[in-house]
Chain A
Amino acid sequence: MRVRVFGLTVVLTLFLASSRAAVWSEAAGGEAARAAAPSPVSPQSGDVAIIVNPKNSMRDISFDVLRKYFKAERGQWPNGTKVVIAMRQPSGQAERGAVLRSVYGWDENYYQKYFRQGHFNESIQQAPKELNTTYAMIQYVHYTPGAIGYVRADQVDNSKVNVLSVDGRRPGESGYRIR
Chain B
Amino acid sequence: MKHTPNVSVVLSLVLFFVCAFPFAIPLRAQEPARLAASASAHDNFATARRAPTSPVSRPRKRLVPVRVSDTVEGSRVLVASDASLDDYSSYFDGGRFYVLIPKADVTAAMPDEFKGRGFASASLDQRGGDALLSFELQAGTTPRLSQKFNRLEINFTAQDAAGQTHAPVAQADERAQLQQLLKRVEELEGQVRELRANAVAADGQPPPAAPPATPTAAAATATPEEEEVQAAITGQEHETHTSGPRLQIQGFADVNFRASNGRGTTNAFGLGQLDLFITSQLSEKFSVVSELILEAKRDNSFEFEIHRLLLRYAMNDYLNLSAGRYHSGIGYYNTAFHHGSYFATAANRPFLFAFEGQGGLLPLHNVGVSATGRIPSGSLDLRYIAEVGNGRSARSAVDRTVQTAFDENNGKSYNLGLSARPDWLPGLQTGFSFYHDRLTPTAAPNVDQRIMAAHVVYQSPRYEWLNEAVFIRHKPEGAGGVAAYTPGFYTQFARRFGKAQPYFRYQYVNASGRDFLLRDIGRRNGPSFGLRYDLTTYAAFKSQYDRTARRGLSALDELILQLAFTF
Chain A interface residues toward B at CB < 8 A: 2-3, 5-6, 8-10, 12-13, 16-17, 19-20, 23-24, 27-28, 30-31, 34, 36, 43, 55, 64, 67-68, 73-76, 79-82, 84, 105-107, 109-110, 112-113, 116-117, 119-122, 125-126, 129, 131-136, 139-140, 143-146, 152, 155, 157
Given A30-B52, A143-B190, 10 other A-B residues pairs in contact with their CB atoms under 8 A: A2-B3, A10-B15, A28-B55, A31-B52, A64-B379, A80-B316, A119-B250, A122-B289, A131-B228, A133-B228
Q: Assess the B461–A27 pair: CB atoms within 8 A.
A: no
Q: A6-B8, A67-B426, A119-B279 are in contact. Are A13 and B26 (CB under 8 A)?
A: no
Q: Chain B nearest CB: distance from A126 CB in Å?
A: 7
Say what secondary structure dominates the interface of chain B.
mixed
Residues from chain B with a CB closer than 8 A to the CB of A9 are 12-13, 15-16
Contacts of B337 in A (CB 8 A): 121
Bound together, the chains give a CA A31 to CA B9 distance in angstroms of 39
Residues of B within 8 A of A144 (CB): 193, 232-233, 236
The segment from B155-163, B168-176, B194-202 that touches chain A is B194-202
A6 pairs with B86, CB closer than 8 A:
no
A81: B residues at CB distance < 8 A? 197, 200-201
A2-B8 in contact (CB<8A): yes
- Cα A81 to Cα B284 in complex, Å, equals 11
Known contacts A23-B30, A74-B317; is-contact A157 B8 (Cβ 8 Å): no
- The answer to the question of B229 belonging to the interface, with a C-beta cut-off of 8 Å to chain A, is yes
The reply on B83 being an interface residue by CB < 8 A is yes
State A112–B312 Cα separation when bound (angstroms): 24
Cβ contact within 8 Å between B314 and A125: yes
Asked if A131 meets B86 with Cβ closer than 8 Å, knowing A82-B284, A146-B197, the reply is no
Tell me the residues in window 128-160 of chain B with beta carbons closer than 8 Å to chain A beta carbons: 148-150
**Measured between alpha carbons, how far is A134 from B3 in the docked complex, in Å?**
64
CB distance B82 to A125 under 8 Å? no
| Complex alpha-carbon distance, A133 and B277, angstroms | 32
- Is residue B23 contacting chain A, with contact meaning CB distance below 8 A? yes
Could you show 24 A-B contacts with beta carbons less than 8 Å apart? A6-B11, A9-B12, A13-B19, A17-B19, A20-B23, A27-B53, A27-B55, A36-B148, A55-B194, A68-B381, A74-B317, A80-B200, A80-B316, A84-B236, A105-B460, A107-B461, A121-B336, A125-B314, A131-B232, A133-B228, A134-B83, A139-B225, A143-B193, A145-B193
**Are B233 and A143 in touch, CB under 8 angstroms?**
yes
**Distance between Cα atoms of A116 and B566 in the complex (Å):** 10
User: Are A2 and B84 within 8 A (Cβ)?
Assistant: no
Q: In the complex, which of the residues A121, A134, A143 contacts B150, with contact meaning CB atoms closer than 8 Å?
A: A134
| Known interface pairs A20-B23, A36-B148; A120-B233 also in contact (CB < 8 Å) | no
Q: Do A140 and B232 contact each other (CB < 8 Å), given the known contacts A122-B289, A135-B82, A145-B194? A: yes
Contact string against A for B residues 8-34, beta-carbon threshold 8 Å, 1 for contact and 0 otherwise: 110111011001100100110010000
Asked if residues A125 and B287 are in contact (CB atoms below 8 Å), the reply is yes
CA distance A133 to B236 in the complex (A): 18
Task: Please name all residues of chain B whose beta carbon is closer than 8 Å to the beta carbon of A34 when the two chains form the complex.
Answer: 52, 86
Residues 33 to 64 of chain B near chain A (Cβ within 8 Å): 52-56, 59, 64
B84 touches A36 (CB 8 A): yes
**Distance to closest chain A CB from B214 (angstroms):** 9
Q: Are B426 and A105 in contact (CB under 8 A)?
A: yes
Task: Say yes or no: A19-B9 contact (C-beta < 8 A), given A34-B52, A140-B232, A146-B197.
Answer: no
Q: How far is the CA of A132 from the CA of B107 in the complex (A)?
A: 15
A36-B148, A117-B343, A135-B149 are contacts. A76–B225 as well, Cβ < 8 Å?
no
- Select which of B148, B225, B336 is within 8 A of A133 by beta carbon: B225
Contact check: which of A20, A122, A126, A136 meets B239 at CB < 8 Å?
A126
Tell me the complex Cα distance, A81–B228, Å.
Answer: 23
For the complex of A and B, the 3 pairs showing the least CB-CB separation, nearest first, are A9-B12, A145-B197, A110-B461
User: What chain A residues lie within 8 Å of B15 (beta carbons)?
Assistant: 9-10, 13
Q: How far is the CA of A136 from the CA of B26 in the complex (A)?
A: 35
Q: Which of A8, A67, A121 has the most CB of B within 10 A?
A: A121
Known: A9-B16, A143-B190. A132 touches B233 (CB 8 A): no
Would you give the shortest CB distance from A117 to chain B, in whole angstroms? Answer: 5
Contacting pair B314 A16 (CB below 8 A):
no
Residues in chain A near residue B277, CB distance under 8 A? 120
B421 CB within 8 Å of chain A: yes
Give the chain A neighbours of B478 by CB distance below 8 A. none
- How distant is the Cα of A10 from the Cα of B20 in the complex, in angstroms? 12
CA distance in complex: A75, B59 (Å)? 35
Give the docked Cα–Cα distance between A30 and B86 (Å): 12
Q: Which residues of B contact A36 (CB under 8 A)?
A: 84, 148-149
Task: Determine the distance from Cα of A113 to Cα of B147 in the docked complex, in whole angstroms.
Answer: 41
Please determine whether B12 and A80 come into contact, CB atoms closer than 8 angstroms.
Answer: no
Docked-complex contact A13 and B20, CB < 8 angstroms: yes
Q: List, in ascending order, chain A residues with CB within 8 A of B83's CB.
A: 134, 155
For the complex formed, measure the closest distance between the CB of A70 and the CB atoms of chain B, giving whole angstroms. Answer: 11
Q: Which chain B residues border A125 with CB–CB below 8 Å?
A: 287, 314
- Nearest CB of A to B1, in Å: 14
Query: Closest residue of chain A to B13, judged by CB?
Result: A9
Is B335 an interface position by the 8 A CB rule?
yes
Known: A19-B23, A23-B27, A79-B201. A5 touches B9 (CB 8 A): yes
Chain A residues, CB < 8 A from B317: 74-76
Closest to B226 in A: A139
Complex CA–CA separation, A146 to B239 (angstroms): 14
In the complex, chain B residues whose CB is within 8 Å of the CB of A134: 82-83, 150
**Alpha-carbon distance between A146 and B233 when the two chains are bound, in angstroms:** 12
B421 surroundings in chain A (CB, below 8 A) = 73
Chain B residues near A133 (CB, 8 Å)? 64, 82, 150, 225, 228
Contacts of B228 in A (CB 8 A): 131-133, 136
Q: Are B236 and A129 in touch, CB under 8 angstroms? A: yes
- Minimum CB–CB distance for A57 against chain B, Å: 10
CB proximity of A17 to chain B, nearest CB, Å: 6
Whether the pair A131, B239 counts as a contact (CB closer than 8 A) is no
Point out the residues of chain B lying under 8 angstroms from A121, CB to CB: 335-338
| Complex alpha-carbon distance, A178 and B320, angstroms | 32
Query: A106's closest neighbor in chain B, by CB?
Result: B461
Q: Which residues of A contact B20 (CB under 8 A)?
A: 12-13, 16
